[in-house]
Each structure stands twice: as C-alpha cells, then as structure tokens.
Amino acid sequence: MDNKTLTLAYSPCPNDTYIFAALANGLIEDAPPITVQLEDIENLNNSALKGDYELTKVSYAVVPDLLENYRVLRAGGALGHACGPLVVAKPGAGKALKDFEGKVIAIPGERTTAFMLLSLAMGSGKRPQTLAMRFDKIVDAVADGTVDAGLIIHESRFTYKDEGLVSVADLGEWWDQETGGMPVPLGAIMVRNDLAERTKEVNDAIRRSLKYAREHEDEVMKYVHEHAQSMDETVMRKHIDTYVNEFTDDIGDEGIAAVKELFRRAREQGIIPKQVEAVFA
C-alpha cells in the first residue's frame, strides 16, 4: 500500500459522514491515510473544477466538465429510487412546474444534479428564473416569501412540511416515470487521474468504511452527529436510509446506464454541449 496521504472532500450530510466515518477516523486497517475537507455540495463542485482534491464528492451534473482530470469511482456515490429532489412552495402558489415558469425558484447551485433534473423536467427553452443559495437556506426562503418556490435536496425533503410548505413536483418520481424505473443519479465520488493506479485500493477502502459503519453504527453515529448541525435524530436516520443503499457499494450496470441516460437527455436539451461518457473505475 502507498502510504501517501490523500485528500478527500465530501459534504457534512449524514449519508457522506456515515460512509466515510471509519475511513476519516483511521478505523480501517491498511486503508490509505487521508485528510478530510467538508464542504457544501456546490463548493465541492467548484473545487473539483479546479482539481483541488484527489478524491471528492460531486454532483453528477458537473461530471461532464471534470472528465479531463477525474474519473468516477464505483463505490461511495449517491443514486437510488424515491430519493430525488423536490420542488416545494406555499400552498396555493401552484400545482405543477408549469405554474412556476417565469417565477423565481431557489436552487442549491447551478452545477447540482437537482438543477439539471429541474431543467430537464421543465423542458427545453423553459429555464426558470433562479436564485442560488446554500441548500439548507432554501426552505426558509420559500416560507418567508423571498422566492416563489424552492428546489430542495438532502434532509430538507424530510422537513419542508414543518414550515407549512407543499410539494409541487418530485423530480425523483418524474425521472422514474420518464426512464421506466431507472435510479436517479445524484452524487459521485471522483478520483483524480493522477491516482488512477490506486482506484482499486480506494474503492476497497470506501466499501470497508461503509461495512464498518453498518456493523458499528453506535460508534460512527457520533461522527455523523458531530457534523449534522443539530439535525433531528429521526431525520438523520431517514437521510442515511434514503441515500445509502446498494448503489453505494457499487454503482453497477443499472447505475451506469442511468448516468448515461442523464447525460443523453441533458445533451439533447443543450444543457451539456457534447457527447460525454464518464469513465468508471
């Protein structure tokens, strides 16, 4: 094993901290040593464009812009069923996405998969007016009238009703219906190309970290709590159960097909400019 310390960046969300807790805290025997940086997903996307970290979580929507410098690891990503972003609004503001054409929708970043899915669902030439903000600020912005609707991700999908908001569109359900049941690709773990010879080692370390979490939950949940910003225990558990699944261990042929379909649709609508094929390692 190469003892060079690697840089690893991911979000403070419970699914990421759950997956990487054992690895980050040196609990995996013979795993590569790492230094960790926790950032909001849009910050991670922007950092990846600069090649800042050797290993990093990103939105699948930004992957086409990263392929000169990175490839996608098969382990550690976020895909699944019934886990897509939601568009939420105040009751009576609108019943469907078409009701928000020309109105202001808060989004968690223009490079997020959530925004790519929203753009696909609204259709070619119907790009909404947007206001980008950190994902955990969106529900409040909708509730206080700063924006007409909000595109929510992460734990906000479990808490928006507490603020009196309603779901206008479930983009995970939209994707499921459009694709005949494909999982929705949300986030990927990328490895920089200068570490290409270590992808097997890193994939293995991520899988062992996840296995450790599943077998020692009381231990790793301390790390999850530390970064969850006083999140309710029930919400934290729902978050992990929703975003950590069989695709986290290995994206598999089904997941890769879903990523290809996402890119195909984005290319057809001019969201990404050219044919791209992600390299999975």
Is the residue at 197 inside a domain? yes
**Spatial distance between the Cα atoms of 223 and 244, rounded to a whole number of angstroms:** 16
Q: Is the pLDDT of residue 231 over 90?
A: no
Is the torsion defined by CA of 140, 38, 242, 215 positive or negative?
negative
Q: Are residues 163 and 192 in the same domain?
A: no
Q: Exactly one of 81, 154, 225, 227 is catalytic; which is it? A: 154
Whether residues 165 and 245 fall in one domain: no
Give me the number of domains the chain comprises: 2
- Pair 58, 109: CB distance under 8 Å: no
Same domain, 169 and 188: no
Last residue of a domain, one of 158, 179, 200: 179
Torsion of the alpha carbons at 182, 72, 107 and 102, rounded to the nearest 10: -60
Identity of residue 106: A
In a domain, 101, yes or no: yes
Q: Average pLDDT, stretch 13-40?
A: 96
pLDDT at 137: 95
Task: Please tell me the least confidently modeled range out of 1-10, 163-172, 216-225, 245-254.
Answer: 1-10
Do 143 and 14 sit in the same domain of this protein?
Answer: no
Domain that holds residue 170: 86-179
Over 60: is that where the pLDDT of 1 sits?
no
Residue 273 scores a pLDDT above 70? yes
Residue 3 pLDDT grade (very low, low, confident, very high; cuts 50, 70, 90): confident
pTM for this predicted structure: 0.95
Q: What is the CATH number of the domain that holds 99?
A: 3.40.190.10
**Is the residue at 58 inside a domain?**
yes
User: Both 223 and 256 in a single domain?
Assistant: yes
- pLDDT above 70 for 230: no
The position carrying tokens 């290409």 is 196
- pLDDT one-digit tens code per residue, 74-123: 999 999 998 999 999 999 999 999 999 889 999 999 999 999 999 999 98
Sign of the dihedral defined by the CA atoms of residues 135, 50, 196, 262, in that order:
positive
Lowest model confidence (mean pLDDT) among 16-20, 56-60, 95-99, 200-204:
95-99
Q: Is 154 a catalytic residue?
A: yes
- pLDDT of res. 276: 85
Q: Which of 164, 179, 194 is the last residue of a domain?
A: 179
**Percent of the chain scoring above 90 in pLDDT:** 90
Q: Tell me: the pLDDT tens digits for 144-203? A: 999 999 999 998 999 999 999 999 999 999 999 999 999 999 999 999 999 999 999 999
Q: Is residue 280 part of a domain?
A: no
Same structural domain, 115 and 162? yes
